[in-house]
Protein backbone atom coordinates (compact mmCIF):
# COMPACT_ATOMS: atom_id res chain seq x y z
CA UNK A 1 0.00 0.00 0.00
CA UNK A 2 2.89 2.31 0.73
CA UNK A 3 4.19 1.72 -2.79
CA UNK A 4 0.76 2.38 -4.28
CA UNK A 5 0.55 5.63 -2.34
CA UNK A 6 4.00 6.64 -3.55
CA UNK A 7 3.10 5.92 -7.17
CA UNK A 8 -0.13 7.88 -6.79
CA UNK A 9 1.94 10.81 -5.56
CA UNK A 10 4.28 10.47 -8.56
CA UNK A 11 1.29 10.37 -10.90
CA UNK A 12 0.01 13.70 -9.61
CA UNK A 13 3.54 15.13 -9.68
CA UNK A 14 3.69 14.25 -13.39
CA UNK A 15 0.43 16.15 -13.82
CA UNK A 16 1.84 19.11 -11.91
CA UNK A 17 5.06 19.22 -13.93
CA UNK A 18 3.13 18.92 -17.18
CA UNK A 19 1.21 22.02 -16.21
CA UNK A 20 4.54 23.75 -15.58
CA UNK A 21 5.80 22.54 -18.99
CA UNK A 22 2.67 23.97 -20.60
CA UNK A 23 3.36 27.33 -18.95
CA UNK A 24 7.06 27.12 -19.88
CA UNK A 25 6.23 26.32 -23.48
CA UNK A 26 3.88 29.28 -23.61
CA UNK A 27 6.57 31.48 -22.03
CA UNK A 28 9.14 30.41 -24.63
CA UNK A 29 6.71 31.17 -27.47
CA UNK A 30 6.07 34.66 -26.06
CA UNK A 31 9.81 35.27 -25.50
CA UNK A 32 10.64 34.05 -29.01
CA UNK A 33 8.04 36.32 -30.62
CA UNK A 34 9.23 39.26 -28.51
CA UNK A 35 12.89 38.71 -29.46
CA UNK A 36 11.88 38.27 -33.12
CA UNK A 37 10.07 41.61 -33.08
CA UNK A 38 12.94 43.38 -31.31
CA UNK A 39 15.53 42.00 -33.74
CA UNK A 40 13.32 43.03 -36.63
CA UNK A 41 13.40 46.58 -35.29
CA UNK A 42 17.22 46.46 -35.25
CA UNK A 43 17.23 45.76 -39.00
CA UNK A 44 19.33 42.60 -38.84
CA UNK A 45 16.65 40.05 -39.62
CA UNK A 46 18.13 39.43 -43.08
CA UNK A 47 20.95 37.63 -41.30
CA UNK A 48 20.30 33.91 -40.83
CA UNK A 49 22.33 33.82 -37.61
CA UNK A 50 20.21 36.62 -36.16
CA UNK A 51 16.79 35.37 -37.22
CA UNK A 52 17.54 31.75 -36.34
CA UNK A 53 17.77 32.22 -32.56
CA UNK A 54 14.22 33.50 -31.91
CA UNK A 55 12.77 30.97 -34.38
CA UNK A 56 14.47 28.14 -32.46
CA UNK A 57 13.06 29.51 -29.19
CA UNK A 58 9.53 29.59 -30.68
CA UNK A 59 9.84 26.06 -32.10
CA UNK A 60 11.10 24.66 -28.78
CA UNK A 61 8.22 26.43 -27.00
CA UNK A 62 5.64 24.93 -29.36
CA UNK A 63 7.16 21.45 -29.00
CA UNK A 64 7.19 21.67 -25.19
CA UNK A 65 3.61 22.98 -25.31
CA UNK A 66 2.46 19.84 -27.16
CA UNK A 67 4.74 17.38 -25.39
CA UNK A 68 2.86 18.13 -22.18
CA UNK A 69 -0.16 16.47 -23.85
CA UNK A 70 1.60 13.10 -23.84
CA UNK A 71 2.54 13.48 -20.20
CA UNK A 72 -0.98 14.39 -19.07
CA UNK A 73 -2.76 11.71 -21.10
CA UNK A 74 -0.16 9.08 -20.30
CA UNK A 75 -0.35 9.73 -16.56
CA UNK A 76 -4.16 9.87 -16.54
CA UNK A 77 -4.61 6.66 -18.54
CA UNK A 78 -1.53 5.03 -16.98
CA UNK A 79 -0.38 4.35 -20.54
CA UNK A 80 3.21 3.14 -20.63
CA UNK A 81 3.79 4.09 -24.28
CA UNK A 82 2.54 7.66 -23.86
CA UNK A 83 4.55 8.24 -20.69
CA UNK A 84 7.61 6.78 -22.42
CA UNK A 85 7.04 9.07 -25.42
CA UNK A 86 6.77 12.02 -23.06
CA UNK A 87 10.01 11.11 -21.25
CA UNK A 88 11.96 10.53 -24.49
CA UNK A 89 10.77 13.76 -26.15
CA UNK A 90 11.45 15.75 -22.99
CA UNK A 91 14.95 14.30 -22.78
CA UNK A 92 15.62 15.29 -26.41
CA UNK A 93 14.38 18.84 -25.75
CA UNK A 94 16.56 19.02 -22.64
CA UNK A 95 19.65 17.97 -24.64
CA UNK A 96 18.80 20.41 -27.46
CA UNK A 97 18.54 23.25 -24.95
CA UNK A 98 21.94 22.37 -23.48
CA UNK A 99 23.45 22.29 -27.00
CA UNK A 100 21.82 25.64 -27.82
CA UNK A 101 23.19 27.17 -24.61
CA UNK A 102 26.71 25.95 -25.43
CA UNK A 103 26.43 27.23 -29.01
CA UNK A 104 25.14 30.57 -27.75
CA UNK A 105 28.11 30.91 -25.42
CA UNK A 106 30.59 29.99 -28.15
CA UNK A 107 29.16 32.42 -30.72
CA UNK A 108 28.30 35.25 -28.34
CA UNK A 109 31.20 37.34 -29.64
CA UNK A 110 29.69 37.32 -33.14
CA UNK A 111 26.62 39.25 -32.01
CA UNK A 112 28.32 42.62 -32.40
CA UNK A 113 29.61 41.72 -35.87
CA UNK A 114 26.12 40.69 -36.99
CA UNK A 115 24.59 43.86 -35.55
CA UNK A 116 27.18 46.09 -37.18
CA UNK A 117 26.87 44.40 -40.56
CA UNK A 118 23.09 44.74 -40.55
CA UNK A 119 23.16 48.39 -39.52
CA UNK A 120 25.83 49.32 -42.06
CA UNK A 121 23.78 47.73 -44.84
CA UNK A 122 20.72 49.63 -43.64
CA UNK A 123 22.61 52.94 -43.73
CA UNK A 124 23.72 52.31 -47.31
CA UNK A 125 20.10 51.78 -48.42
CA UNK A 126 18.68 54.63 -46.31
CA UNK A 127 17.97 56.99 -49.22
CA UNK A 128 16.64 54.29 -51.56
CA UNK A 129 14.09 52.51 -49.39
CA UNK A 130 11.27 54.45 -47.70
CA UNK A 131 10.33 51.59 -45.35
CA UNK A 132 13.95 51.05 -44.35
CA UNK A 133 14.41 54.79 -43.87
CA UNK A 134 11.53 54.87 -41.40
CA UNK A 135 12.91 51.81 -39.59
CA UNK A 136 16.36 53.41 -39.24
CA UNK A 137 14.86 56.66 -37.97
CA UNK A 138 12.72 54.78 -35.43
CA UNK A 139 15.77 52.81 -34.29
CA UNK A 140 17.94 55.90 -33.82
CA UNK A 141 15.17 57.70 -31.95
CA UNK A 142 14.39 54.72 -29.72
CA UNK A 143 17.97 53.98 -28.71
CA UNK A 144 19.15 57.62 -28.79
CA UNK A 145 21.96 56.73 -31.17
CA UNK A 146 23.33 57.77 -34.55
CA UNK A 147 24.92 55.60 -37.23
CA UNK A 148 26.34 52.09 -36.80
CA UNK A 149 29.63 52.83 -34.99
CA UNK A 150 29.01 56.55 -34.43
CA UNK A 151 27.51 59.62 -36.11
CA UNK A 152 30.39 59.95 -38.61
CA UNK A 153 29.10 56.86 -40.46
CA UNK A 154 26.56 59.16 -42.13
CA UNK A 155 29.32 61.31 -43.62
CA UNK A 156 29.94 58.64 -46.27
CA UNK A 157 26.24 58.17 -47.12
CA UNK A 158 24.37 60.16 -49.78
CA UNK A 159 23.03 62.83 -49.44
CA UNK A 160 24.64 63.49 -46.04
CA UNK A 161 28.29 63.35 -47.13
CA UNK A 162 27.90 66.57 -49.12
CA UNK A 163 27.76 68.79 -46.02
CA UNK A 164 28.67 66.26 -43.32
CA UNK A 165 25.15 66.17 -41.92
CA UNK A 166 23.06 63.43 -40.29
CA UNK A 167 19.35 62.47 -40.35
CA UNK A 168 17.09 64.46 -38.03
CA UNK A 169 16.44 61.25 -36.07
CA UNK A 170 19.98 61.68 -34.68
CA UNK A 171 19.03 64.97 -33.04
CA UNK A 172 18.76 65.26 -29.28
CA UNK A 173 15.24 65.54 -27.89
CA UNK A 174 15.74 69.20 -26.95
CA UNK A 175 17.64 70.17 -30.12
CA UNK A 176 16.30 72.37 -32.92
CA UNK A 177 15.18 70.30 -35.91
CA UNK A 178 16.37 70.24 -38.69
CA UNK A 179 19.31 72.61 -38.11
CA UNK A 180 20.77 70.23 -35.52
CA UNK A 181 21.39 67.59 -38.21
CA UNK A 182 23.65 70.00 -40.12
CA UNK A 183 25.49 71.47 -37.14
CA UNK A 184 26.54 68.14 -35.69
CA UNK A 185 27.96 68.59 -32.20
CA UNK A 186 27.60 66.83 -28.86
CA UNK A 187 25.06 69.50 -27.92
CA UNK A 188 22.79 68.85 -30.90
CA UNK A 189 22.91 65.13 -31.79
CA UNK A 190 23.41 61.69 -30.27
CA UNK A 191 27.00 60.87 -31.13
CA UNK A 192 27.21 57.22 -30.04
CA UNK A 193 26.52 54.44 -32.55
CA UNK A 194 23.50 52.16 -32.53
CA UNK A 195 25.57 48.95 -32.54
CA UNK A 196 26.82 49.58 -29.01
CA UNK A 197 23.40 50.70 -27.76
CA UNK A 198 21.63 47.61 -29.09
CA UNK A 199 24.41 45.35 -27.80
CA UNK A 200 23.95 46.78 -24.30
CA UNK A 201 20.19 46.16 -24.56
CA UNK A 202 20.75 42.56 -25.65
CA UNK A 203 23.25 41.84 -22.85
CA UNK A 204 20.83 43.29 -20.30
CA UNK A 205 17.95 41.09 -21.44
CA UNK A 206 19.93 37.92 -22.12
CA UNK A 207 20.23 37.47 -18.33
CA UNK A 208 16.43 37.27 -18.11
CA UNK A 209 16.27 34.77 -20.97
CA UNK A 210 19.05 32.68 -19.37
CA UNK A 211 17.23 32.65 -16.02
CA UNK A 212 13.99 31.50 -17.66
CA UNK A 213 15.86 28.81 -19.64
CA UNK A 214 17.62 27.58 -16.49
CA UNK A 215 14.31 27.33 -14.63
CA UNK A 216 12.71 25.44 -17.51
CA UNK A 217 15.67 23.03 -17.72
CA UNK A 218 15.41 22.31 -13.98
CA UNK A 219 11.70 21.49 -14.22
CA UNK A 220 12.33 19.37 -17.32
CA UNK A 221 14.93 17.33 -15.46
CA UNK A 222 12.55 16.71 -12.58
CA UNK A 223 9.79 15.86 -15.05
CA UNK A 224 12.03 13.26 -16.73
CA UNK A 225 12.84 11.68 -13.36
CA UNK A 226 9.19 11.49 -12.27
CA UNK A 227 8.10 10.18 -15.69
CA UNK A 228 10.69 7.40 -15.46
CA UNK A 229 9.43 6.50 -11.99
CA UNK A 230 5.86 6.38 -13.27
CA UNK A 231 6.95 4.24 -16.24
CA UNK A 232 8.58 1.80 -13.84
CA UNK A 233 5.46 1.66 -11.68
CA UNK A 234 3.12 1.11 -14.66
CA UNK A 235 5.38 -1.57 -16.12
CA UNK A 236 5.58 -3.36 -12.77
CA UNK A 237 1.77 -3.63 -12.79
CA UNK A 238 1.08 -1.58 -9.66
CA UNK A 239 -2.13 0.39 -9.45
CA UNK A 240 -1.47 4.06 -8.90
CA UNK A 241 -5.03 5.06 -8.19
Residue 211: the pLDDT is: 74
Residues 6+ away with beta carbon under 8 Å from 110: 49
Q: For residues 171 and 180, what is the distance between their CA atoms, to the nearest angstrom? A: 6
Residue 241: the pLDDT is: 45
Domain residue ranges of the chain, discontinuous segments joined by +: 2-109+205-235, 112-194
Q: For the whole model, what pTM was predicted?
A: 0.58
Please give the chain's pLDDT, 241 residues, in tens: 334 666 677 777 777 777 777 777 787 788 778 777 766 655 544 444 455 566 777 787 888 778 877 777 777 777 778 778 888 888 888 887 777 777 766 766 677 777 788 888 888 888 888 888 888 888 888 888 998 898 889 988 888 888 888 888 888 876 666 677 676 677 788 889 988 888 887 777 777 767 777 777 787 788 788 888 878 877 776 444 4
| Three-point CA angle 176, 179, 183, nearest 5° | 110
- Which CATH class for the 112-194 domain? mainly alpha
**Do 143 and 191 form a contact (C-beta atoms < 8 A)?**
no
Residue 237: the pLDDT is: 62
Alpha helices of 148-193 — where are they, by DSSP H?
179-182
Residue 5: the pLDDT is: 61
**Do 74 and 240 form a contact (C-beta atoms < 8 A)?**
no
Amino acid sequence: MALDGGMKCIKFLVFFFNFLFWVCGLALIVIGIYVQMELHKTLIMHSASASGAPIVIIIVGVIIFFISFFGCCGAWKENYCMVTTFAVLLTIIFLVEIAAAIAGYIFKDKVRAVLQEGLEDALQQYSNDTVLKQAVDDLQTRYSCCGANNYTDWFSIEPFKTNHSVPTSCCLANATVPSCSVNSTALTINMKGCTGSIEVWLKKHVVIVAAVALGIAFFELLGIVFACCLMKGIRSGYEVM
